[in-house]
Structure 1
């Protein structure tokens, strides 16, 4: 009962507080970021909340206001996983919410790709059409003659493979995207972005300092969420 009351209180307060977006690529500690904030009393819109609201599909359609006007968006303060990391959506969020803060965790690109491969047993994560657009594999998608009648669907179909042949392609995209994010914030608002390596043992303490909360010196969290992703 106490937890439900606290959750309700946090969600009401979230309406009036600046948003915090984790824009780390998938398989880069996004779920752990959500757990960190939940354990420190924040209302968190995690993957399950995004899935319930079809936020990633709305992002893909370009219907951003449908996301921002939803009840769960208004009553949560912290957001992790998709669609927040997708392509250049962080630029929309940056301007739409001028008081918002952003979190970018990064890891070794080979370890990141290994995690991608292991997540779905060598298949791409989530919806194939969106994945092909995000990771620039459109030609493979169209050449395979997949069903184009359901391009803008919420289906998780995992129709393409992740193999060693794609490793360098994915690594290059991953490293380039991190560079682009850092360049953007360095130009327009470096004080609004927190960056750290996923391997940094003090990352949670440093993140706490960034958002203004006290974190126990020995605090640690690692949430390896292997649920299917859009």
Structure 2
């Protein structure tokens, strides 16, 4: 990782994993007038993250006010961004249980890359044309490092989810004003988010354009 200068610029980072309500948070942030980063471009920075070179990620963060999903939800990124953007705030979205998240992420990826099969295979991931052909395989290995015969190994993914939540909360333990942990299924958490952002609530609960049991 290269050395970079610290800047005092406020940014909002949603660092919850995919399928924990990050799209809902994106909607709320847009409602409040935040400029969101270009997610397709951001996801192409996954290899930089894997190489632990955060310079391009930091450069990308200068293009907008708020960011969510990969690479911001990946381990270590929030630590670097916290040190660089000293006035920033972080939102950690969670599900009711790790099991609920696992079911949601595997179902979602199955629809995207495996025609609805139980879970995608390695070949499904390598053939998926998302961002570029093979991106799905690369990100699976970058994040989970699961065996090829079982890319969605349940034990590994559940541990990943739990470890991410623990690590984020522990990192910010001495500075609770920097981190908000919320569950978008809880209506009261919308008010907590508005207060965290120092905004007047626009709604009484999280806005859902098409409310289903699936959380994005």
Give 1:125-204 correspondences, 5 Å limit: 126-137=135-146, 140-141=147-148, 161-162=151-152, 166-187=153-174, 189-204=175-190
1:61 matched to 2:51? The reply is: yes
TM-score using structure 2 length: 0.75
Structure 2 unaligned regions, length at least 5: 1-7, 111-118, 126-134, 211-216
* Alpha-carbon offset, residue 201 of structure 1: 1.2
Q: Report the Cα distance in structure 1 between the residues aligned to 2:85 and 2:203, rounded to whole angstroms.
A: 31
Q: Contact 1:45/1:76 (CA < 8 Å) preserved in 2? A: yes
Structure 1 unaligned regions, length at least 5: 1-15, 145-159, 225-230
Corresponding residue number in structure 2 for 1:218: 204
Q: Aligned pair in 2 of structure 1 residues 67, 176: CA closer, same or farther (>3 Å)?
A: closer
Greater fraction of residues in helix: 1
What do the CA deviations read for 1:92-149 (whole angstroms, capped 9, x no partner)? 1111111110000111211100111111212277532332232132xx24xx7xxxxx
Q: Aligned pair in 2 of structure 1 residues 223, 133: CA closer, same or farther (>3 Å)?
A: farther
Residue 87 of structure 1 aligns to a residue in which SS? coil
In the alignment of these two chains, the number of paired residues is 183
List 4+ stretches of structure 1 deviating above 4 A.
none
Corresponding residue number in structure 2 for 1:7: none
TM-score using structure 1 length: 0.71
Aligned with residue 101 of structure 1, among 78, 89, 107: 89
